[in-house]
Chains A and B, each alone.
Chain A
């Protein structure tokens, strides 16, 4: 007796549906797989949080004060828990300085915002022949690739001009979010089953095109959509929801964009994201530098850095998370006619901490008036080489530009000895 089967529904046909339905909301079984992975994710995973100070912060008033000099300005230095003094208007950070260090001997030659921003993010001076990747894209590639359980992007940028992934390619582009944690167009909506129906229809049309012998691009398209759907349906999306933190936690970090951004960064690190850049702007202080710093910038900055450092430390995460604080350059030691400071790249400071690096130190020094570096000077590549060391990225790593030109990691910078020990 012939058992009537519905037309077209033989086993092969059904299996094909299984294959082509890859881009659907995960079934219950897959969700439980995710939860077992979650335990792995909570285990220590290295990350870097870059705090980007857009505009070029006056580091001579924050990290490397010159009280004896006519360039010293209005602020006084205070003692810290580390072996160095910092600005009196950073008291909370001073209590965390045993875990953080300052590199006072940065010296670059790019005092233009655009060029400086590019240089500090990539370790390379802008060059018309190639677009270098911002360092977050490098980390996304080196570390993100090793985290298969990570369903959200491996490079997140919060209110920061992160730059381009360059020759790393679009998959390592920064995922841009606002500090309120809202991601454009990512909400799943209420109707999961409707999305499923849509994706099934989509799959039929896409498969037809993929099978029509037109090269690789149609398939890549499908893969990106898969990633996007993973994002939409992932429980890891909760990492962006800063609002879910307790009120105490939110108050600790500060309710402004910078504080909330850092809080989000901590959550993202916990989920396994290896690189988060959090931006704070308004540092281009050609006028009224002291009042602006004292009344507006430093309180926010101080609160944020201190909260993040303390929080990571208390959670036992600080050894696995490198913190970097920098802008595109420093500001002139000489105070101008508008009680401000102008662009200055010849001698300035960057703050680096956590990640198992030595804290509490001032690395390198500037002269009495802050106009020159005394002794060895450091470049952006050296900072990123130090970060790479802390993240476990081999220093001999070489990438290739689109034309096959070899590009050394961090432009051949060398990890700073005083920090890596």
Chain B
């Protein structure tokens, strides 16, 4: 494609293309590199000679430099260096930088769980500040949408979308809202979740444990989930035998299991005077004496006894010792506890669709990380920063790989984790929207988020109600590692004919479409607006033409045509993917 660039040609090309496209006023390129940026890069010294290096410089040249200082700057630089090393080692070139329109949609979906509203998009595209991406990240981290989104993400991880009976979803969410609104240090959060006791609404953290204790299973599910979710290690295989792939032995599972035996779930019922029957009241988690020994059955049938032990650390289990508090204390102790690297891996995976290991919660020598030094450094820094989750996020998404497009380039086709390859992060990976993101995005696309009115609790109820039907059609029980479309026919039917999309595309007075049509402007302007508010980009020429054809065909009834166009936009693959 391009041969032998020197800086002069680069500068000329940039100037011409940006000006040219700005004049055309069309296409997704009007909002890339600013002239100021290009001037900056002009002074960049060419590295020693190969054309690949020059091309990579051209790609690098356009990366909006994160406007960070001090240690944050240093950490982001380290991330960039480590990722770039992976590209070099694998002889691939990264894809180009994502256009602002592509990037703003992605960062909104990832941080606040919904597509960006039209006004935000338009002002961002116009903004010439070279630091705008970093500033947007900071703004979004302070947005109430961030709290809501991450409460949802972690509520789903901790108790699932359909929480088991006798568990308070409300209590769980209250706990999490506080965690993310106050940016509570992650080690303290883990401590609370593992060791909490009490009433399921007064101490919402207990709902995590309660959700693992629905069957009388001697704490097996709690053991398996706690180690996997917080420490990123999969001991559940060793419930029944030594792990087939790593050094885990069967006794390790049962050593962990010891810590959960004192937890007991108590479900209270109460008399309901109206029906005259006993109904469910609250549930709680209480401490109970457990002086028995824990035994497990080996494959050959022999019984083994096992004491509580945290990896190599034995625990002095006196009868009054609260073993869960002990476990929590041990889990968060040390300079680089497993909870740090597990959280780093998860946060990275949230933004990129893949973590440094596959699966994201199976870490260890048997499953080496794709970027081990990077993972280690990020974990150490996370601990040093007091387990500050927002800061970790800042490092991750100010880094270069978070800003490349999801289009696969000519030179990085092999970077295809969906096909089983190890991810190299040379292009963004396509992720499916979660059900909640879809709902929230539909709200934003129709401007309904501005209607305000409903308080937090009520709008959450509405969303839950809508989700209930959706969850049957949409989500699976497994927290899939994204990117493969897990759509089903009922999901498609719902999108095509269901109430929410019907409401969104409604043409009644006061509806979004009615408003769009009521404003001054040509069809072209209106078409552009609909594309921007759903796909966050301008229509292509072909799309514009098809839309205009549609409007012409329904000459007497333009509203109907716009409904059809809007319907098509909301049902499209591009809408439902986060890319």
Residues of chain A whose beta carbon lies under 8 Å from any beta carbon of chain B? 8, 112, 114-115, 127-129, 131, 153, 164, 169-171, 173, 175-176, 183-187, 189, 194, 197-198, 200-202, 204-206, 208-210, 212-218, 220-222, 224-225, 227-229, 231-232
Contacts and interface: CB of A to CB of B under 8 A. Distances in A.
Nearest to A164: B477
Contacts of B214: 114
B568 A201 contact: yes
Contacts of B430: 214-215, 217-218
A169 B408 CA distance: 26
A170 B497 contact: no
B280 interface: no
B571 A202 contact: yes
B543 A216 contact: no
B573 interface: yes
Contact of B568 (A185, A186, A202): A202
A352 to B, nearest CB: 28
Contacts of A194: 560, 564
Interface stretch (B45-53, B106-114, B137-145, B486-494): B486-494
A185 B498 contact: yes
Given A129-B237, A200-B546, A213-B408, 16 more contacts: A112-B216, A114-B215, A128-B228, A129-B234, A153-B489, A185-B490, A186-B497, A194-B560, A198-B567, A202-B571, A202-B572, A210-B573, A221-B576, A224-B488, A228-B492, A229-B496
Contacts of B476: 131, 164, 170
B498 A205 contact: no
A78 B442 CA distance: 61
B528 to A, nearest CB: 14
Nearest to A173: B488
B550 to A, nearest CB: 6
B493 A224 contact: no
A276 B478 CA distance: 24
Given A214-B408, A217-B484, A224-B487, A205 B543 contact: yes
Nearest to A113: B215
A170 B487 contact: yes
B492 A227 contact: yes
Given A164-B476, A198-B567, A228-B496, A184 B490 contact: yes
Contact of B215 (A112, A210, A221, A227): A112
Interface in B150-176: none
B485 A225 contact: no
B489 A175 contact: yes
A131 B228 CA distance: 16
A128 B223 CA distance: 11
B147 interface: no
Contact of B565 (A115, A201, A209, A220): A201
B472 A176 contact: yes
A189 B496 CA distance: 12
A205 B574 contact: yes
A131 B475 CA distance: 14
B572 A209 contact: yes
B421 to A, nearest CB: 12
A213 B493 contact: no
Contact of A214 (B234, B406, B484, B486): B406
A227 B488 CA distance: 9
- Among B540, B560, B568, residue most surrounded by chain A Cβ atoms (within 10 Å): B568
Range of interface residues on B (Cβ < 8 Å): 35 or more
B378 interface: no
14 contacts: A112-B215, A164-B476, A176-B490, A184-B490, A185-B494, A189-B497, A197-B550, A200-B546, A208-B542, A210-B573, A215-B418, A225-B571, A227-B489, A228-B492
Nearest to A200: B546
Interface in B488-547: 488-494, 496-498, 535, 540, 542-543, 545-547
Nearest to A218: B573
Nearest to A191: B560
Contacts of A232: 493, 496-497
A227 to B, nearest CB: 6
B564 A220 contact: no
Nearest to A171: B488
Contacts of B80: none
Contact of A185 (B228, B477, B497, B553): B497
B249 interface: no
A205 B432 contact: no
B74 to A, nearest CB: 33
B261 interface: no
A204 B573 contact: no
Contact of B574 (A129, A175, A206): A206
B34 interface: no
Nearest to B480: A402
A197 B568 CA distance: 10
B492 A224 contact: yes
A222 B488 contact: no
Nearest to B542: A204
A232 B489 CA distance: 10
B484 to A, nearest CB: 6
A214 B493 contact: no
Nearest to A110: B215
A194 B563 CA distance: 11
A225 B485 CA distance: 12
Nearest to B572: A205
Nearest to B472: A176
- Among A129, A204, A217, residue most surrounded by chain B Cβ atoms (within 10 Å): A217
Contacts of B469: 184
Given A164-B476, A227-B492, A215 B416 contact: yes
- Among A112, A170, A189, A205, residue most surrounded by chain B Cβ atoms (within 10 Å): A205
Contacts of B498: 184-185
B48 to A, nearest CB: 31
Contacts of A164: 476-477
A209 B574 contact: yes
A214 B579 contact: yes
Contacts of A205: 535, 543, 568-569, 572, 574
A206 B572 contact: yes
